[in-house]
Amino acid sequence: MDMQVLRSRLDKGQWFSHLPVPLQDSLLAAARVRRLSPGQRLFKRGDPPCGLYAVLEGSVRIGAVSEQGKEALLSLVESPHWFGEICLFDGQPRTHDAFGLGHCVLLHISQTALLTLLDEQPAYWRQLALLMSQKLRLTFINLEQLSLMPTAARLAHRLLMIAEGYGEIDPPRRVLQLPQEQLASMLSLSRQTTNQILKDLQGQGIVNLKYGEIEILDAQRLRMLAII
Amino acid sequence: MDMQVLRSRLDKGQWFSHLPVPLQDSLLAAARVRRLSPGQRLFKRGDPPCGLYAVLEGSVRIGAVSEQGKEALLSLVESPHWFGEICLFDGQPRTHDAFGLGHCVLLHISQTALLTLLDEQPAYWRQLALLMSQKLRLTFINLEQLSLMPTAARLAHRLLMIAEGYGEIDPPRRVLQLPQEQLASMLSLSRQTTNQILKDLQGQGIVNLKYGEIEILDAQRLRMLAII
DNA sequence: TTCGCTCTGTCAGGCAGGCGACAATCTCCA
DNA sequence: TGGAGATTGTCGCCTGCCTGACAGAGCGAA
């Protein structure tokens, strides 16, 4: 992949585009493009740290499977998103499993490359921690909604979050390419319940459902539902 | 409070005791002791950043209230625990409310003092980020258990976590001074359900219930229940 | 085109856990 | 010592969501 294309794609993300330019350069210099075949595992829970990743094309499933085989899908990370930074700080094992979804292209910066870079420029620790603070905020929101909000509101909220790439994509997408089952496991709901709520939203003309995708027709009303 | 007493108390915590000594010194030099009267609010959601805190005596409730008035209690932070670091990194508003529980004594380092300190020693950003990575890991565990584990296991797990101060207190406490209602709202359960599970545990001789406290009799069996 | 797979739509049944209610018990302070 | 407030223990009802099941629809490969 061309260096120009790569940089322009990463510049779409809030985090990367606001980094000091020298750090951007260093990151790109240390990075290697990596491709995943459909369903290929990048890492699993308990694996040792292996560095930082950015999604360039396709998407990556971040989740975990319980002893009973139930799956909790934390999120689907997509184009200008970075992930894998927690282990950079504490050197502890991975908290989640990561799988490529379809063909996807990643940017990878190895743990050692990052640590040498940070050794030379310790001030950059702050920038990388920024990535973690965003994730912590999102996780808090998630956790709170799970216990406090009614399911329909949680679903509405999540649709909006996905549409705007959890704050990374500025003109929010209107069409979300994701099966209802995946949405369900992100919300810790059954597929059936998820379908029921979506059908209801479709009846109100707020979304439109197609095979494997959800189209947001009325983001305004969706936002109203998400607050309740 | 005496400087010696203060340091010895902070040294009980994993995070502080593993910091480089110069950073420990700088933190202490920049810190001021602050006392909260029972129920006094330290900050609320949406407040601007106000620095970093450590609990010296008593405990602090970190939580949030929904529009419907339901309360989600994130955690009760106790003696050698530090909190409030997220806003240090991103300068965004507080994510939660913080209230003193009973009389409590805190150590406070103001945002500006911290930022000047970090400006002089940017390498310390890494140490502070460590605090955040711990919190992120704990929150992930929380989130996952909420959707994947049966309620009894979640309760058992939480009791153990509280007993060992979420990894900060090494010889775990046997007696937890907390009303069942607070435990309930940490678990997103009703008080009644919580009581029912606790009673069941008491029947098995795993815990002993008293007024306003829970005594852990058999941590081993409790740990077994937490895995299921 | 046809087969197989994935995804959607929708039923009925069951139950875990929420909610309201109320009594009993404990603690603390006046 | 007594009374107020907080906490616990335990009902019963009810709802929201899960489970299982199955039909139909869309999609891609042979």
Q: If you average pLDDT over residues B105-120, what whole number do you get?
A: 96
* AA identity, residue A182: Q
Question: Is residue B145 a contact partner of residue B228, using CB atoms and an 8 Å limit?
Answer: no
Nucleotides of C under 7 A from a protein CB: 6-12, 16-21, 25-27
With CA of A181 and C1' of each nucleotide, the nearest comes out as C7
Q: Is the pLDDT of residue A228 over 90?
A: no
Lowest mean pLDDT among A57-71, B107-121, B123-137: A57-71
Question: Is residue A125 a contact partner of residue B126, using CB atoms and an 8 Å limit?
Answer: yes
Question: Is residue B59 a contact partner of residue B77, using CB atoms and an 8 Å limit?
Answer: yes
pLDDT at A38: 85
Question: Is residue B204 a contact partner of residue B197, using CB atoms and an 8 Å limit?
Answer: no
With CA of A189 and C1' of each nucleotide, the nearest comes out as D17
Q: Is the pLDDT of residue A131 over 80?
A: yes
CB contact under 8 A, B90 and A134: yes
Query: How do B207-210 and B213-216 pair as beta strands?
Result: antiparallel
Buried b (16+ CB within 10 A) or exposed e, B102-137: eebbbbbbebebbeebbeeeeebbbbbbbbbbbbbb
Q: Is the pLDDT of residue A18 over 70?
A: yes
All protein residues with a CB under 7 A from any atom of strand C: A 179-181, 191-192, 195-196, 198-199, 202, 209, 211-213; B 70, 150-151, 188-190, 192-193, 210-212
* Helices and strands, number each (H, E), in chain B: 10, 9
Which chain B positions have a beta carbon within 8 Å of A64's beta carbon?
A: 144, 148
CB contact under 8 A, A146 and B68: no
φ/ψ (deg, to 5) at A215: -105, 130
CB contact under 8 A, B95 and A132: no
* AA identity, residue B76: L
Rounded to a whole number of angstroms, the distance from the CA of A80 to the nearest CA of chain B is 19
**pLDDT-derived band of residue A1, with 50, 70 and 90 as boundaries?**
low
CB contact under 8 A, B188 and A147: yes
Q: Is the pLDDT of residue B1 over 70?
A: no
- Chain B residue with the nearest C-alpha to that of A64: B144
**pLDDT-derived band of residue B5, with 50, 70 and 90 as boundaries?**
confident
Selection from B131, B132, B219 nearest residue A140 by Cα: B132
pLDDT at B61: 93
Q: How far apart are CA B63 and CA B97, in angstroms?
A: 5
pLDDT at B105: 92
CA-to-C1' span, A209 to D30 (A)? 30
Averaged pLDDT score across all residues of chain B: 94
CA-to-C1' span, A143 to D10 (A)? 31
Question: Is residue B13 a contact partner of residue B82, using CB atoms and an 8 Å limit?
Answer: yes
What is the percent of chain B where pLDDT is above 70? 100
What's the Cα-to-Cα distance from B134 to each of A97, B28, B167, rounded to whole Å?
18, 22, 10
Q: Is the pLDDT of residue B67 over 80?
A: no
Long-range contacts of B196-199 (CB under 8 A, 24+ apart): B197/B151, B197/B152, B197/B155, B198/B155
Q: How far apart are CA B21 and CA B147, in angstroms?
A: 41
| pLDDT tens digits, one per residue of A35-93 | 988 888 999 999 999 999 999 998 999 999 887 778 889 999 988 999 999 999 999 99
What lies within 8 Å, CB to CB, of B110 at 6+ separation is B30, B50, B51
Q: How far apart are CA A27 and CA B80, in angstroms?
A: 37
Closest CB to A146 among B122, B146, B228: B146
